[in-house]
Amino acid sequence: MKTHHLLYMLSLLASSAQALTWNLATGYRADSFHTENLAQFAREVEAKTGGELKIALHANNSRVKLADMFSAVQTGQVEAGESILSGISKELPIAGADSIPFVVDSYDDALRLWRLQRPLLEQQMAARGVILLYAVPWPPQGLYSNRPIHSATEFKTTRMRTYNATTVRIAEYLGAQTVDVPMPQVGTALAERRIDNMITSAVTGVENQVWTHLRHYYEMNAWFPKNAVYVHAPAWANLPPPLREALRAAATAAEVRGWARSQQLAREAALRLRAQGMTVERIPEDFERHLKRLGERFTREWIHQVGHQANDLFIPYFTEPRHTAKAP
């Protein structure tokens, strides 16, 4: 009996030692589609590992603030985290590629850019003790206006909402007056008629019910910002190979699912804007060509800033056939 009892206790200890719990932090709300995707990812990891690896999800800045996320994962404060790539481009210059405006204009092109960007980003992350798992785009950025837009010259007497250096430069390039308005204050700024137009996604427009003040939405697809999920490299290295394989499989599924969900939300939001009486259409061709030239300028500046890795990304992006990637 004593022998059986000892074996039983040893088996419990072994089981306990094998069961791991990782903390995965995000700065986004629990009802964000990115966070919902993370929750599904965590469930799949537990299922695929038979409970040997569990992931505790901490949303809404509850465990780590979004601005501190990369350093928290890098130092092992948490095993995994999520960041918008533009937010970590100072640490990882190649992460800033998807926030260059007027370069990518479809989900297919966004995926093509990501396939070229990913190995370069993996290299930069690995050099800092971080392992990339997957990335998913937010719905693309479009143009809202209180009047029809036919050409770039029509912005010269308007006030454009700006919120970062890129949107300020776009407004200045178009000749619009810049009005700095953080997202929580957009509704108030519209009600007070302080802005005439702004660049943001159809989803954000629905969330803020902008149809009360703005009547036109142009699907310009200015850029497709992405969120990336990544893990602490030593924690990854300590996982047995089968658990790593399961984690990779769950990450691959999360990426495919997330891209599909992003597209679905973009379509649904555009339909909602139409249902509320807004005109939803593509930007005029002449105006689009104007913006493409601006995108080329931004790209040249970014390549000069980042260096040879930027060429490794954009030379194949601009020279390979466009239809080499199909978003889910």
pLDDT in tens, 267-281: 999 999 999 999 999
- Give CATH superfamily name and number for 2-90+108-137+225-254: Bacterial extracellular solute-binding protein, family 7 (3.40.190.170)
| Alpha helices (H) in 133-176, listed in sequence order | 165-174
Cβ atoms of residues 176 and 197 within 8 Å: yes
Domain ranges of the chain: 2-90+108-137+225-254, 141-222+272-319
Give me the mean pLDDT over the 106-122 stretch.
Answer: 96
pTM of the entire predicted model: 0.89
Rounded-to-integer distance, Cα 160 and Cα 302, Å: 24
Instruction: Write out pLDDT tens, residues 150-168.
Output: 999 999 999 999 998 889 9
pLDDT at 326: 73
Rounded-to-integer distance, Cα 289 and Cα 286, Å: 5
Give me the mean pLDDT over the 128-133 stretch.
Answer: 99
Answer whether 2-90+108-137+225-254 and 141-222+272-319 agree in fold.
yes
pLDDT top residue among 12 and 273: 273
What order of strands is seen across the sheet that includes strand 80-84?
A: 53-58, 20-25, 80-84, 226-232, 130-137
What angle do helix axes 285-306 and 165-174 make, rounded to 10 degrees? Answer: 140
pLDDT above 90 covers what percent of the chain? 87
- The amino acid at 46: E
Residue 137 phi/psi, 5° resolution?
A: -80, 150
Q: What angle do CA 33, 35, 37 make, to 5 degrees?
A: 70
Give 18's pLDDT tier (boundaries 50, 70, 90): low
pLDDT at 8: 34
Instruction: Write out pLDDT tens, residues 71-81.
Output: 999 999 999 99
Pairing of strands 177-180, 159-162: parallel
Q: Does domain 141-222+272-319 have CATH number 3.40.50.720?
A: no
Give me the mean pLDDT over the 245-266 stretch.
Answer: 98
Rounded-to-integer distance, Cα 42 and Cα 91, Å: 27
CA-to-CA dists, residue 160 to 94, 139, 190, angstroms: 28, 20, 11
Cβ atoms of residues 180 and 172 within 8 Å: no
